[in-house]
Amino acid sequence: MARRNRKPKRRSPLWTRLCLIIGIVLTLGSGSAYAGTVVLSNRLDHAVQQRDLLGDGSAHRSRTVTGPLDILLAGSDLRSSWKRTGELPRADTIMWLHVSASLDRAYLLSIPRDLEVHIPADARTGKGDSTTKINAAFPYGMRDVDDTTGGMRLLTTTVQQVTGAHFGLAALADWDGFKDITSELGGVRLCVDKTFVSRQPGLPREKFTAGCHHYDATRALQLVRQRYAYADSDYGRQRMQQQYLRQILTRATSTGVLTNPVKLNRLLDATSRALTMDLNGYRLADLALALRRLTPAKVIGLQIAHRTLPDGNESLVQPVDDQLFAALRDDTIGRYLARHPTLVSHGPGAGD
């Protein structure tokens, strides 16, 4: 019988290392960036580390890009100091990116880090087979602090069990690398709907002013890490994550980065430090070309309907989410959202 673990060890919720696969694949997939060059194609294919994150061992098979695509995106709170202490990270960012069959529209579903689910047993580590927060699946799959591949595999199994999805690609991003990406783009413009002072554990107390402002990499990532500023906690942070991602894409496609060889090379170098992917037989350059019509405006942010249990854990609201998951799996999500528009993320990210 599953063990019920209500209080896993809490860590400072180091922001959400947002989905670099979208930033690099979508922006480099634009016609101006791709330009048909063999040099860029080869450079892009070697721009990220590749590992078997999905655990299916199928990366050796060559694949042609056809839609729809389902991609699991995750970011852990791993810090360089934990390499010395052996402390295991958690997955504080979990997103399901569904790209439509036409490859010109995408839906980005944030899965709450505090969502209480059953995590399957992991035969390698002997951990799991317990009901707890979904972000605990990552450390449960790790033998040691360097075993992020094992963590990603158990997280994949857990998310697939919850959603019924079958992921064809996966990406794992880290904090320092994504900060480098933001720096290379010269920062981003983010909007909040109220003024607040940070109360996030482990972060300095800083004031964020209502309205839209340009933020450098450090301030932007501090803002994206916030959740206690929002009336709906992590759901407010999810909206800010999605806004941040769209701004990264917009920034990359509007500042001449993709047509400037020096800037593009530095962006690719930063990406190689930030991202590990399971391409599952796809070439990254082929993905970029196939997704060239997918613009930031066509990436629709989604949120899971939820309710809070008495002890503060989150629970799915049924049957809405079963239907949402099915609509994503079946690529009928556009029609489904027309009937359930409240599942689309709105607002700049701040709470009441």
What b/e sequence results for 270-279 when a residue is b if at least 16 CB atoms lie within 10 Å of its CB, and e otherwise? Answer: bbbebbbbbb
CB 106 within 8 A of CB 295: no
At residue 250, the pLDDT reads 75
Please report the pLDDT score of residue 138 as a whole number. Answer: 95
pLDDT at site 158: 96
Residue 1 confidence (pLDDT): 40
Q: What pLDDT, in 10s, does the model give residues 271-310?
A: 677 778 898 988 877 887 788 788 777 888 888 876 655 5
Under-50 pLDDT residues of the chain: 1-38, 348-352
pLDDT at 98: 95
Domains and CATH numbers, the chain: 8-343 (3.40.630.190)
Q: What is the pLDDT of residue 62?
A: 81
